[in-house]
């Protein structure tokens, strides 16, 4: 089912009506509740979505209960400190309970940012000047630091998934793991595939996101075709986006997509295909993106 991400029309910028109208007019089946939605919004958002004849089959986790104070951030599922991961699990559990009551069946995990000694903006500036070098400079330093943190990050991600999958499985919810587009994100493609293997048989799969994969390759991250194919095979949901340079998350049709990527994965029946992008996309651009993505996925024969 093709659905629209809520951040296409941020709830706290114009209320729920612009989102419901854009998704409905585009022919989307429903709404993906992304990070800009707070748990405290559910009481108003879910009835409005359902009244419009739309579904809310998927959501991001964890979500903030309300708007965070300036300088505050959500606890991270991949945090080094166990108590912070525990706080993130508690928020994710609260969100999962609220989501299940609204009909959510897919929960997309956000493990939080990875802090490195080199800021992402410094690498982006080098990329813009065409001075990016994976063997020297800021990018090399970032990659070396990320490699040093890899085992700790993998352990933290596994710790969090292990706790959440018990809750999700009891509620017939599938956990969707992201694939990072840069060293500042977790898990990487290799780490996500390892997590998928570690939880084989459990309701855990990967997100297919061509925008992120395109951005990762633009950055020079090692993503051979065999690894991309493995990500596609492990996908249980899709987030359809484009990339512009190192930035993923553009509405399909408004950016670029690595032409070497598969057209789409073969997803399970009723898996959500989330059309996502920036809030400045017009209703007409959203409609074109939904139509294009729908045509792409209608061409596949759904798996059982």
**What's the half-sphere exposure (Cβ side, CA atoms, 13 Å) at 275?**
35
DSSP type of residue 217: H
**How far apart are the C-alpha atoms of 276 and 7, rounded to whole Å?**
7
Between CA 272 and CA 282, with CA 278 as vertex, the angle to 5 degrees is 95
The pLDDT assigned to 124 comes to 86
Q: What are phi and psi of 59, to 5 degrees?
A: -150, 160
Question: Is the confidence at residue 129, as pLDDT, over 70?
Answer: yes
Beta bridge partners of 242: 250
Residue predicted with more confidence, 122 or 95: 95
Mean of per-residue pLDDT scores for the chain: 94
> What pLDDT is recorded for position 14?
87
> Which has more pLDDT, 45 or 222?
45
Domains and CATH numbers, the chain: 2-298 (3.20.20.150)
Q: What is the pLDDT of residue 173?
A: 98
Position with higher pLDDT, 162 vs 139:
162
Q: What pLDDT is recorded for position 242?
A: 98
- The C-alpha atoms of residue 35 and residue 100 are separated, in whole angstroms, by 17
pLDDT in tens, 257-288: 999 999 999 999 999 999 999 999 999 999 99
The model's confidence at residue 102, banded by pLDDT at 50, 70 and 90, is very high
Chain CA centroid to CA 77, Å: 14
Percent of the chain at pLDDT above 70?
Answer: 97
pLDDT band with cut points at 50, 70 and 90 for residue 135 = low
Q: CA-to-CA distance for 75 and 186, rounded, in angstroms?
A: 14
Q: How far apart are CA 290 and CA 26, in angstroms?
A: 6
Per-residue pLDDT averaged across 184-209, rounded?
97
289-299 confidence digits (pLDDT tens):
999 999 999 87
pLDDT band at 300 (very low <50, low <70, confident <90, very high): low
Query: 197, 236 in Cβ contact below 8 A?
Result: no
Please state, for a pLDDT cut of 90, what percent of the chain lies above it: 86
- pLDDT tier at 128, thresholds 50, 70, 90: confident
The per-residue pLDDT for 133 is: 74
The pLDDT value recorded for residue 188 is: 96
Q: What tokens were used for 103?
A: 């009909």
List C-alpha distances in Å: 15 to 6, 10, 41, 101, 122: 11, 8, 10, 22, 35
CB of 207 closer than 8 Å to CB of 235: yes
State the pLDDT at residue 277.
Answer: 97
242 close to 254: Cβ distance less than 8 angstroms: yes
Task: Report the b/e string of 263-287 with b at 16+ CB within 10 A.
Answer: ebbebeeebbbbbbbeeebeeebbb
Identify the CA nearest to 64 among candidates 91, 87, 33: 91
């Amino acid at each position: 089912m093709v659905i629209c991400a809520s951040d296409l029309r941020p709830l706290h910028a114009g209320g729920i009506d612009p989102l419901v109208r854009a998704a409905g007019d585009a022919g989307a089946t429903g709404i993906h509740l992304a990070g800009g939605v707070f748990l405290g919004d559910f009481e108003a958002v879910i009835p409005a979505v359902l009244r419009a004849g739309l579904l809310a089959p998927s959501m991001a986790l964890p979500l903030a209960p309300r708007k965070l104070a300036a300088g505050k951030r959500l606890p991270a599922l991949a945090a080094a400190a166990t108590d912070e991961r525990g706080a993130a699990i508690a928020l994710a559990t609260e969100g999962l309970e609220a989501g299940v009551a609204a009909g959510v069946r897919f929960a997309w995990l956000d493990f939080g940012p990875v802090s490195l000694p080199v800021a992402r903006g410094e690498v982006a500036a080098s990329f813009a000047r065409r001075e990016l070098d994976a063997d020297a400079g800021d990018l090399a330093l970032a990659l070396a630091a990320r490699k040093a943190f890899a085992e700790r990050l993998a352990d933290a991600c596994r710790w969090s998934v292990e706790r959440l999958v018990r809750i999700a499985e009891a509620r017939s919810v599938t956990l969707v793991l992201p694939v990072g587009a840069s060293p500042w994100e977790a898990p990487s493609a290799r780490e996500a595939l390892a997590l998928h293997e570690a939880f084989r048989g459990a309701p855990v799969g990967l997100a297919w996101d061509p925008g992120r994969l395109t951005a990762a390759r633009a950055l020079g991250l090692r993503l051979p075709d065999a690894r991309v194919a493995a990500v596609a095979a492990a996908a249980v949901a899709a987030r359809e986006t484009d990339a512009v340079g190192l930035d993923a998350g553009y509405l399909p049709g408004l950016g670029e997509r690595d032409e070497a990527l598969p057209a789409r994965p073969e997803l399970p029946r009723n898996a959500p295909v989330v059309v996502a992008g920036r809030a400045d996309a017009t209703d007409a651009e959203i409609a074109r993106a939904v139509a294009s993505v729908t045509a792409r996925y209608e061409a596949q024969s759904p798996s059982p």
